[in-house]
Structure 1
Amino acid sequence: MSHGMRDSTVEWATQVTEAELQTSLPRRWAHTQGVASRAAEIGSALGKDSYLLVSAATLHDIGYAPRLAVTGFHPLDGARFLRDEHGADKRLVRLVANHSFALLEAEERGLRDELAAEFPLLEQPLLVDALVYCDITTTPDGNRTTAQDRVAEIVSRYGNDSVVGRFIRRAAPEIFASVERVEAALAAQPR
């Protein structure tokens, strides 16, 4: 893929997400901008796939948009929207569908088989981990945070016994391991 096409994919992702979230969910839009910014900062660790990380980071929460919330599970709703309305790149759609251990939350919601069948997990572990890292180290307002503080914030916001609370507590060890792998990869980058 040419450099221009990569840039246009990121630009397209930004336009689509802004149109869906900026007015209806301004705080979610702020979070998304922070996640995308974080992805742009660490993208060099992924080489030619850096544009894919930034695009997925930009689109990861698009399924929260009120008009797209069909199942109420934003990774699935967002991925279906990107696939069905935009014919988006399959790897990009699979990243959005599976961001931040979505399969575990899908299981809590009774949607695991549906998510796994429609959008299999992408077999690019560093790319998947990098998206987790960008999402989980960004606050709801788009600022930086630690993974531990972000998990605590999510539990606090949703409650221990909610679907999201149960999911995030269950996923926390995996999330922390992803963050550690990305931090190790970033530390190994030449300066």
Structure 2
Amino acid sequence: MKKSRTLVAALVFAGLLGTACLFSPDPNNGTSVGFYSPVDSAWKVIYNFQLAYETKNFDEYQKCLHDEFEFILLEQDWGDYNGDGVIDESWGKDLEELYTQRMFQSDNADVIELILTGTNESPYYGDTTGATVQMMRSFELKVYYYEDGTQKGVRAQGQALFLVKPGPNGDYQIWQWTDLSEV
């Protein structure tokens, strides 16, 4: 049961994070929300990532992921996600986008709320160019829908480490996302 909840949380959050702000724009109130462009600092990609989740904007979400993106799973979540018969410890951009697109389009995702807290930002010493920034964030993700007037859904929370670096066009993108949640 614990592994299933962790797996569901990882899949729901895949695809998952930034500033301590929470945005729940109501598309019916005429308020427009804006994504940063250019994404010339690390925190801006995390902000855009969070906003893409909450607005279920898949195009903006894709812009947040580096071509070499990798999501690193907790050991208890390792499994054969790509069907090649080999246990995966991580997945790449293709599976991340697939899982997130499914979540955004799901009938069980009327509302997505993502709260990211933390401002820690430091150089990633594994990059000798100094371009990569590591950012630790606490997250709380709620994905829910309404059935007969009752709110139903899933909630995930924990810690995530993001490595962000400029992509080919110079905008910062998430290169690596490590799930550090304790379940």
**Fold equivalence (TM over 0.5):** no
**Largest Rg, 1 or 2:** 2
**Greater relative CO, 1 or 2 (CA 8 Å, sep 6+):** 2
| Larger helix share, 1 or 2 | 1
- TM-score of the superposed pair, with normalisation by structure 1: 0.26
